[in-house]
Each structure stands twice: as C-alpha cells, then as structure tokens.
Amino acid sequence: MSDGLGEDASLQEKIHARRAAAKTFFTETCRNREEVIAALDKMNIAWGDVRPTDEVTELACVQARQSIKEVPDRAGGVRPVPDSPYRFRHLNSGVRKGAPHLGEHNDEVLADWLGWTEEKINSQAHVLKTLDRNLS
C-alpha cells in the first residue's frame, strides 16, 4: 500500500495515512466479507479465518495432522498445545511436554552451558528466580 505522501512525510503522517486508507478499504470499498476476500485474492494477499480454539481442534485437517497435542498440566490433568507444524521423516520433533516453570532448569543450564559446579550454583541461588523463591 502506498501512502502517496513522499519521502519528507513524518512516520506519524505515514501511519495515519495508511490507517485511513485501510479503514476506507475495509468499510467503504468492500461492503461485506465476500468482497474483502475477493479483493484480497485479486491482490494475491494471503488471508485466513481466525477461529475459536474449540472450533480449530475439530477441523479434519488439524485432527489428521495431529496438530494439537495434549500435555500434562501439572495439576493432574492435560491441556491442549499446538504442535510444531514441521514433520521430519527421521526425527521425532514437536511438543513433548509443557513449558518449564520459572527456574525449573536453572541448575541443568548453568552446569551444562557454563560448566558451573553444584557449589557455584548453590552460591548464586539467592539471585536465581524460581517459583518457590519469588524475588523482586
């Protein structure tokens, strides 16, 4: 989209002009969803529907690709998590478990990446944030 303002226009002027053009396009040029879709298709602009989570999980393509995995929620249940969209023939990629809690892997990371000893890690425990040690 061109704002037509030229190189001397300020960023704020350009933002305002582009927002006004987009508003005109979506409220006056295209009067309904079908016209918006047709215009976007004509300009070769990718678009897609935004759907509620419960509707997405029921889509045949999502189920066929197993795009949603259930992971433990650490409270005795499970929760749905989007899986990686990439599939590799000889690799097991994707979601395996939920995200770690704050500080859950501090010791492993400091030992593996920095070569810290258990003694050094313990000496720095007062500055490492974890769920059970909420420092401000």
Q: Which helix (H) or strand (E) holds 79?
A: strand 78-82
Looking at the structure, do residues 107 and 91 belong to the same domain, yes or no? no
CA distance 48 to 2: 23
Contact 79, 98 (CB under 8 A): yes
Residue 136 in this model has a pLDDT that exceeds 80:
no
pLDDT above 70 as % of the chain = 95
Q: Are residues 133 and 119 in the same domain?
A: yes
pLDDT in tens, 93-113: 888 888 888 888 999 999 999
What letter does residue 72 receive in the DSSP assignment?
A: E
Same domain, 78 and 104: no
Q: Are residues 81 and 92 in the same domain?
A: yes
The token duo for 96 is 């395996």
Question: Residue 3 phi/psi, 5° resolution?
Answer: -90, -15
If asked whether residues 13 and 39 sit together in one domain, one would say yes
Say if residue 60 is in the same domain as residue 37. Answer: no
Q: Which is more confidently placed, 135 or 88?
A: 88
Same domain, 38 and 68: no
Q: Find the DSSP H helices in the chain.
A: 11-24, 33-42, 53-56, 60-64, 106-114, 118-123
Q: Which domain holds residue 20?
A: 1-48
> What is the average pLDDT across 6-30?
90
Q: What are phi and psi of 82, to 5 degrees?
A: -65, 130
Q: Are residue 56 and residue 91 in the same domain, yes or no?
A: yes
- Confirm if 102 and 129 have CB atoms less than 8 A apart: yes
Tell me which range, 20-34, 71-85, 104-118, is most confidently predicted by mean pLDDT.
104-118
Helix (H, G, I), strand (E, B) or coil at 41: helix
Residues 33 and 56 in one domain: no
The count of C-alpha atoms lying within 13 angstroms of the C-alpha of 93, restricted to the half-sphere facing its C-beta, is 9
